[in-house]
Amino acid sequence: MEEKVKPTVSIDKKKKIQNIVLRIFSLLMMFALLYSYACYVFMPKTAGDSTYYTSRSFKVEKKNTIDVLCLGSSAIECSVIPSVLYSKHGISALNSAEYITTMDNEIGHYRESKAYRTPKLVLIDTEIVWNGGANTYKTPSEMFFCAPFSNHNRLKSLSWDDFYFHGVDDETVIIQD
Amino acid sequence: MSSWGIDETTIIHSEVSSRQDKEIRSIITEILADNVKILFVTAPEQYSNKDKRHNTSYHSYFESLTEEYENVSYFDFNDKKTSNLNLDVKTDFAKVNHLNVLGAQKTSVVLADYLNAKYSLTDYRKDTENNTRMEEGLTFFKNKLATSNEEQLF
């Protein structure tokens, strides 16, 4: 009789453990899904929302049509107007500067831009020597998964557009603005 | 009292650490390896002799880099000897180191002339196949100036 009871207890324990594991796994999955959705909600959707996109507008320009790539901080962001360069001498320039930037952020922009074009000239703001800015380099996936923290200030300005999925990728995001 | 522009009477502080120097040199090496030229630019800003973190403090450092590296140049918008910007602190700045739209137009005109004279860049105004976005951008900017009652300086 004892031999028959023992397996029954063991099976119950196994089931209990399986249930616990399944619950923990389900909980983690739910958390991962909810967190990913929160990342999507907090992620800026237009260029106007974030300099992360405006500084990467090389992604939407026609391939190999930008001769001058401007890198640096807000000082260059506020000084170089590509349209004026084009109007004066037909120079094709893109201002990729980002406020309170760092050296690794700017070289990161340059590396990313190479997938789309090789400029003839890179203009670099000397202010990057300061290197004390908060904008360190983030890959697109890092940017996405940090969104609830790095873009928490969007909480007050969230709109309906932020909550539903509409095929956002880096390219369409910029074009929308 | 702030002013714009540096000349031989300006006190220039040179404070580039060895770590900063190393990072700048690694950026230069990486970009030059792609056969891309580099132009370091110091954007216009208001100058005060009391402010040691002023960007012109790096003026001599970047000048020395141009002597070391071929295809590396330096343009300081604040240098009255080389830049004929003549910015007015009262009308051309939004804040101490940020220009407003008037100042940015003045700077961009000078930069356009400098780039055109120094580098052989394509004139995309004639390239109708590839200049659609640039034309759109120019029209957008001109309209923006007109609707905000800002003067167009180019």
Is there a domain that residue A16 lies in? no
pLDDT of A48 reads: 61
Partners of residue B41 in chain A, C-beta under 8 Å: 72, 76, 79, 123-126
Mind listing the pLDDT tens digit for each residue in A29-88?
999 999 999 998 888 776 666 667 677 778 777 888 899 999 998 899 999 999 999 999
pLDDT value of residue B48: 64
Residue A28 predicted with pLDDT over 80: yes
Residue B141, amino acid: F
Q: Is A126 within the bounds of a domain?
A: yes
Would you say residue A19 lies in a domain?
A: no
Please indicate, yes or no, if residue A158 is contained in any of the structural domains: yes
Contact B112 A119 (CB under 8 A): no
State mean pLDDT over B85-102. Answer: 89
Chain A residues within an 8 Å CB radius of B113:
88-89
| B11 in any annotated domain | yes
Task: Look at chain A and report how many structural domains it folds into.
Answer: 1
Between B87 and B121, the more confident residue is B121
Q: Is the pLDDT of residue A171 over 50?
A: no
**Which residue of chain A is at minimal alpha-carbon distance from B38?**
A122
Mean pLDDT of B82-100: 87
Is the model's pLDDT at B33 over the cut of 70? Answer: yes
The residues, any chain, with a CB within 8 Å of residue A88's CB and separated by 6 or more, are: B108, B109, B112, B113, B116, B154
> Which residues of chain B have a CB within 8 Å of the CB of A130?
53, 55
List the single best residue of B92, B124, B131, B135 to mutate versus A (max A Cβ within 10 A).
Answer: B124
**Across the interface, do A65 and B124 touch by the CB < 8 Å criterion?**
yes
Mean pLDDT (whole number) for A116-144: 82
Distance from CA of B147 to the nearest CA of A (A): 17
CB contact B140 to A (< 8 Å): yes
- Domain housing B82: 3-86
Residue A39 within any structural domain of the chain: no
| A36 within domain boundaries | no
Contact A62 B62 (CB under 8 A): no
A35: in domain: no
What is this structure's pTM? 0.79
Q: Does B20 touch chain A (CB under 8 A)?
A: yes
How many CB pairs (< 8 A) connect A and B?
Answer: 162
Answer whether residue B153 is part of any domain: no
> Which of B93, B133, B148 to probe the A interface (max A CBs under 10 A)?
B133
> Looking at the complex, does the CB of residue B78 fall below 8 Å from at least one CB of chain A?
no
Average pLDDT, chain A: 82
Q: Does B129 touch chain A (CB under 8 A)?
A: no
pLDDT tens across B41-63, in order? 999 888 765 555 555 668 889 99
The CA distances from residue B69 to A74, B38, B116, B127, in Å, are 26, 10, 21, 33
Does residue B95 fall inside a structural domain?
A: no
pLDDT grade for A177, boundaries at 50, 70 and 90: very low
* Residue A47: predicted pLDDT: 60
Cα separations in angstroms, B76 against A34, A99, A160, B54, B96: 50, 19, 46, 13, 16
> Which chain B residues are within 8 Å of A114, Cβ to Cβ?
34
Q: List the one residue out of B73, B44, B76 whose CA is nearest residue B58.
A: B76
> Rounded to whole angstroms, how far apart are CA atoms A96 and A108?
11
Total structural domains within chain B? 1
C-beta separation of A58 from B130 below 8 A: no
B105 within some domain: no
Segments forming the whole domain that contains residue A167: 47-176
Which residues of chain A approach chain B closer than 8 Å at the C-beta? 61-62, 65, 67-68, 72, 74-76, 78-92, 103, 106-107, 110, 114, 118-127, 129-131
CB-based contact A133:A100 (threshold 8 Å):
yes
**Tens-digit pLDDT profile for residues B120-152:** 999 999 999 999 989 999 999 999 999 999 999
Which tokens in the block code for residue B89? 């602190």
Distance of CA A7 to CAs A14, A16, A140, B142, Å?
Answer: 10, 14, 53, 83
**What's the CA gap between A109 and A96, in Å, rounded?**
8
ipTM of this model?
0.91
B146 in contact with A at a CB cutoff of 8 Å?
no
Residue B29, in any domain of the structure: yes
Question: Residue B14 has what pLDDT?
Answer: 64
Residues 6+ positions from A80 with CB-CB distance below 8 Å? A70, A93, A95, A97, A123, B104, B107, B108, B111
CB < 8 Å to B102, chain A: none
Burial B48-68 (b: 16+ CB within 10 A, else e): eeeeeebbbbbbebbeebbee
Two tokens at A113? 């831009």
Domain assignment of residue B93, yes or no: no
Q: Chain A within 8 Å of B95 (Cβ-Cβ)?
A: no
A105 in a domain, yes or no?
Answer: yes
B71-80 confidence digits (pLDDT tens): 999 999 988 8
